[in-house]
């Protein structure tokens, strides 16, 4: 009797756990909640596997949360079927540089709206920057953000953590604790690490605790204030000249940080490269065997300083838009493999904040809902990148660099997590910020005609976006 009672208790506990999970899903998806385990069959698409560099017209069968089979002529009458003829079927896109502003500035963006913008753009995985209010600089704050994301995000959400306390550049954060809490990298987003001592310490701890060091080699008001401390008597003209020169010191920071990483034997990833000189420094470091990787954004490989003057505050970004020669160098760096990743640096601001003078406006533009279309239109179609190169730089490469490949992110093979993006390479569309899921409207590409768009986003075996519309009830 005791054994039978125990079995009944366990059975009831299992049923209750199943019901609670289903109830939680009903709260998200409504009364038309999909079953806990579903099947999805994506038929006759051109399937890309960046891990093996193979492409072929195949079917993809998804069962539950994982890819079950990839083959020709799969038949499964239980599966929901998606016709992917003429479409590209790729691993879910990965963006390792986004700002979702939560906590503290939810009026600009929050995890709820930002994750939906990601899904609309074909992204199944994002890695958020730590410069929230307050910043993600302690294990407790990191865990809290991840808990919010577990409830509010429709895509896989990961986060970086601050390199220094408060992102103030004075004292190191608890790098060991942050690594153990799940941080994917450490970064003082928006600010360079001001001293060699701090950077050397971060690199040594990054190597020890197995976490990627991701400095932002750009200048910032905080950095300028530190440099100008004690120069109150500097004349206004000299002050403006100093600021002008300081905002071109990206390459100097990159050279310093790579040299320190080389000595420490540590991995380092450089965000949003924007100068030809920076590309050259990174290329030389890779030849020497330094463990350095780098990323570029669509605005830095498409727009120049001339465009900035015409577009206005919606093109104000840091690092700033550069010369035409720098833009060409970024494109070439992507083509040559010197730059490993394409990332959006999605940085939303409210319209009121951007609708001011150029000097007063904050830095940042949005990009989650335009990045894929811009890459396909302006890198793949002109032949700057092959389609395989472009897909790799937006899937497998970022997943590997940020240690997400071990979680099944970035690949499309049987047994991996079912994160899939289906792309219509021929779909022509016009960028319209009023239709974005992001709260931000600060997009310099508004009105551009693009060709190529994500039409289906599958996260963990569940459709979250179909034909440009977020799927909130499992239909």
Which residues are part of the catalytic machinery? 345
Tokens of residue 208, six digits: 């020890």
Which tokens hold the place of 224?
């300028």
- CA pair distance 413, 49, nearest whole angstrom: 7
Q: Which of 121, 120, 136 is nearest to 185 (CA)?
A: 136
> Could you give phi then psi for residue 41, rounded to 5 degrees?
-120, 110
Of the candidates 6, 73, 123, the residue with the CA atom closest to the CA atom of residue 470: 123
| Cβ atoms of 366 and 386 closer than 8 Å | no
Distance CA 174, CA 81 (A): 48
The CA-based angle 300-302-308, given to 5 degrees, is 75
**What burial letters (b/e) apply to 430-469, b meaning 16+ CB within 10 Å?**
ebebeebbbbbbbbbbbebebbbbbbbbbbbbbbbbeeee
Q: Is 127 helix (H, G, I), strand (E, B) or coil?
A: strand
Tokens 């932002």, residue located:
216
**CA 357 – CA 355 distance, rounded (Å):** 7
Encoding tokens for residue 196?
């060699």
Structure tokens at 262: 């080389």
Name the DSSP class of 87: -
Paired strand residues for 472: none
Q: What is residue 380's DSSP assignment?
A: I
Q: Tokens for 429, please give them.
A: 């569309």
């Amino acid at each position: 009797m005791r054994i039978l009672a125990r079995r009944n208790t366990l059975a009831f506990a299992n049923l209750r756990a199943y019901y609670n999970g289903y109830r939680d899903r009903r709260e998200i998806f409504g009364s038309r909640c999909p079953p806990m385990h579903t099947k999805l069959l994506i038929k006759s698409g051109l399937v890309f596997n960046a891990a093996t560099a193979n492409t072929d017209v195949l079917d993809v069968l998804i069962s539950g949360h994982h890819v079950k089979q990839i083959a020709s002529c799969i038949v499964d009458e239980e599966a929901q079927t998606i016709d992917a003829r003429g479409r590209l079927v790729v691993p879910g896109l990965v963006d390792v540089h986004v700002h979702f502003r939560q906590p503290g500035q939810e009026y600009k963006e929050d995890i709820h709206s930002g994750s939906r913008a990601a899904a609309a753009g074909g992204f199944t995985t994002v890695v958020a920057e730590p410069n929230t209010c307050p910043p993600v600089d302690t294990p407790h704050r990191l865990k809290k953000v991840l808990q919010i994301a577990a409830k509010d995000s429709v895509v896989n959400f990961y986060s970086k953590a601050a390199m220094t306390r408060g992102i103030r550049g004075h004292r190191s954060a608890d790098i060991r604790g942050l690594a153990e809490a799940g941080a994917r990298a450490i970064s003082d987003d928006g600010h360079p690490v001001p001293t060699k001592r701090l950077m050397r310490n971060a690199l040594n701890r990054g190597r020890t605790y197995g976490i990627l060091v991701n400095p932002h080699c750009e200048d910032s008001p905080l950095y300028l204030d530190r440099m100008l401390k004690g120069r109150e008597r500097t004349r206004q003209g000299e002050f403006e000249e100093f600021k002008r020169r300081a905002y071109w010191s990206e390459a100097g920071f990159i050279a310093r940080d790579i040299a320190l990483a080389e000595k420490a034997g540590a991995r380092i990833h450089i965000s949003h490269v924007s100068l030809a000189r920076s590309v050259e420094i990174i290329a030389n470091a890779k030849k020497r065997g330094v463990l350095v990787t780098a990323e570029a954004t669509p605005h830095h490989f498409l727009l120049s300083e001339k465009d900035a003057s015409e577009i206005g505050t919606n093109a104000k970004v840091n690092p700033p838009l550069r010369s035409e020669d720098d833009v060409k160098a970024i494109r070439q760096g992507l083509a040559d493999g010197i730059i490993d990743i394409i990332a959006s640096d999605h940085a939303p601001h409210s319209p009121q904040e951007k609708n001011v003078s150029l000097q007063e406006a904050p830095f940042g533009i949005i990009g989650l809902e335009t990045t894929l279309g811009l890459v396909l239109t302006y890198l793949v179609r002109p032949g700057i990148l092959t389609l395989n190169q472009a897909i790799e730089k937006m899937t497998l490469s970022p997943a590997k660099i940020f240690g997400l490949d071990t979680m099944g992110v970035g690949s499309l093979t049987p047994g991996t997590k079912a994160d899939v993006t289906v792309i219509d390479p021929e779909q022509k569309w016009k960028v319209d910020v009023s239709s974005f899921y992001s709260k931000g409207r600060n997009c310099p590409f508004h009105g551009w005609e693009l060709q190529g768009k994500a039409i289906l986003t599958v996260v963990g075996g569940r459709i979250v976006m179909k034909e440009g519309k977020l799927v909130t009830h499992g239909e």
